Structure 1
Amino acid sequence: MVKLKSPEEIEIMRESALVVSKTLGVLASEIKPGVTTLQLDKIAEEHIRDLGAIPGFLGLYDFPNTLCVSPNAQVVHGLPNNTPLEEGDILSVDCGAILNGYYGDHAYTFEVGGVAPETKKLLDITKESLYVGIREFKAGNRVGDVGYAIQKYCEDHGYGVVRELVGHGLGKKMHEDPQMPNYGKRGRGKKFKEGLVVAIEPMINLGTHKIQQLRDGWTILTLDRQPSAHFEHDVAIVNGKPQLLSTFDYIYEALGIESNEEDEFRK
């Protein structure tokens, strides 16, 4: 069942999302060759708790950590470990937090030092596809409109769009209705209404869209072991239009990047 949020709930959820945004911003300064993902996990947990929130992933479905960290050919749900990051890696960092009973949940794929041109292009196109999808998230449109837009944008660039893993509604639970696939047909699926809050999260592969799960029960890998990118925002429908609750601004501030990509979706 889809649970629409009141204006007051949306503002509470904005605060939850910003806990995650600020945490990703702190991590942006720490992600470099030689750092381990377990170190990043510890930093993230401490920062979330310092902000008065609770790590949203820790213990959820028995997940053992604060962050999902997925380097290179890992798509999502990677487990933090003691392997140092290397120059040229990419690292998807997915983070969740609970504040005042509501979840924030979003993700960014970071470059570790300099990366190969084809990998950088994958990151750029995947992030662009996130905003392509968000533009279709408005009152009167349907789930398939968002999925179709993301799928077409990425497949037109020759990339594989993961099918088995999808975005989702967000609220007092991490995963609410509706599911938000990154593929689909226009005009299909549930209709969007005022007050809907979702996490839109393209998971896009340099090669095949096919994936497999490791024996750890969590880590998802591309079948051909080519790189995968993952970007995610929390978005609400306010006055019929998409409005971002999360932001990459803290990441960009840490990395010295100037961007106006979020301007059209701000409050």
Structure 2
Amino acid sequence: MIEILSPAELDRARESGALVAHILRTLTERATVGTNLLEIDRWAQAMIVEAGAVSCYVDYAPTFGRGPFGHYICTSVNDAVLHGRPRDHTLADGDLLTLDLAVATGGIAADSAVSVLVGRARPAESVAMIEATERALDAAIAVARPGARIGDLSHAIGTVLSDAGYPVNTQFGGHGIGSTMHQDPHVSNTGRPGRGYTLRPGLLLALEPWVMADTAELVTDPDDGWTLRSATGCRTAHSEHTIAITEDGAEILTLRG
């Protein structure tokens, strides 16, 4: 299903995007050395409930997960890159933490992710990897406009990531979003320009470049059945924004500012 949102629905999407941005900004500021991942989940729950919003994750139960996700935010650390299920783990100096959050207000969802380094340590390889995903996200947003094709966005992302020296996995990528968190069209993190669905005003997309330092192969954590990790144990990074296609180009709905 591909949804084209009405102006009223776009206003609700903006509200959802602003809330997601606020929560992620708050959580990245609170997440320090000694913070437990379960604390982050509780903080996210409290802010979602206080805002009168709905979590897109608690009851999320796709075929690739082991039952409902059961938590309010994805917390991925170091070799974990996607669907990081919060667990009893305390953050250490230099950990690479990715927070991925999706909520809905007024029946319209927004989705965003950010990778940060915890504490004072700044490993150069981790900084470079985070920055590469951010540049790839910026490149995709720059070409997102009415008349562009999904392949144009995928090509922009893949070019940045490949030029930075990272293998690109195509199992998981960006997606349409609206009344549900995951919709068509799929936005692969690499692709050929001029191919795929033509973008139209009112379309919402969650664009999410992510990489693993030295592999394109994922493995599922056998303990929780959810967390996707790099097959080699290498570090990972992930950046995501929800954008709305407008008459003039793309509006970022989850800008943290």
Q: TM-score, normalized by length of structure 1? A: 0.91
Match of 2:103 among 97, 100, 115: 97
Q: Once the 2 structures are TM-superposed, how far is the Cα of residue 162 of structure 1 from its aligned partner?
A: 2.1
Query: Tell me, what secondary structure is at the counterpart of 2:103?
Result: strand
Structure 2 match to 1:48: 48
Within 5 Å, give how 1:252-263 maps onto structure 2.
none
CA distance in 1 between counterparts of 2:227 and 2:21 reads 23
Q: Once the 2 structures are TM-superposed, how far is the Cα of residue 118 of structure 1 from its aligned partner?
A: 1.0
Q: Once the 2 structures are TM-superposed, how far is the Cα of residue 111 of structure 1 from its aligned partner?
A: 0.9
CA distance in 2 between counterparts of 1:188 and 1:238 reads 20
Structure 2 match to 1:247: 255
Q: Once the 2 structures are TM-superposed, how far is the Cα of residue 210 of structure 1 from its aligned partner?
A: 1.6
* Counterpart residue type for residue 190 of structure 2: Y
Tell me if 1:142 matches 2:149: yes
* Counterpart residue type for residue 242 of structure 2: D
Tell me if 1:231 matches 2:230: no
CA distance in 1 between counterparts of 2:172 and 2:43 reads 27
Query: Tell me, what secondary structure is at the counterpart of 1:161?
Result: coil
Q: Which runs of 5+ in 2 are unaligned?
A: 62-67
CA distance in 2 between counterparts of 1:96 and 1:3 reads 17
Deviations 1:179-237 (A, max 9, x none): 11111101111111111111000011211112111222211111121111111101011
Q: How many residues were matched structurally?
A: 249
Give the aligned CA root-mean-square deviation in angstroms.
Answer: 1.1
Q: TM-score, normalized by length of structure 2? A: 0.94
Within 5 Å, give how 1:1-267 maps onto structure 2.
1-61=1-61, 62-113=68-119, 114-215=121-222, 216-249=224-257
Deviations 1:143-187 (A, max 9, x none): 111111111111111012221111111111111111111111011
Report percent identity of matched pairs: 32
Give structure 1 regions of 4+ aligned residues with deviation exceeding 6 angstroms.
none
- Do the aligned residues in 1 keep the contact of 2:145 with 2:247 (CA within 8 Å)? no
- Do the aligned residues in 2 keep the contact of 1:88 with 1:116 (CA within 8 Å)? yes
* Counterpart residue type for residue 228 of structure 1: T
Q: Once the 2 structures are TM-superposed, how far is the Cα of residue 19 of structure 1 from its aligned partner?
A: 1.1
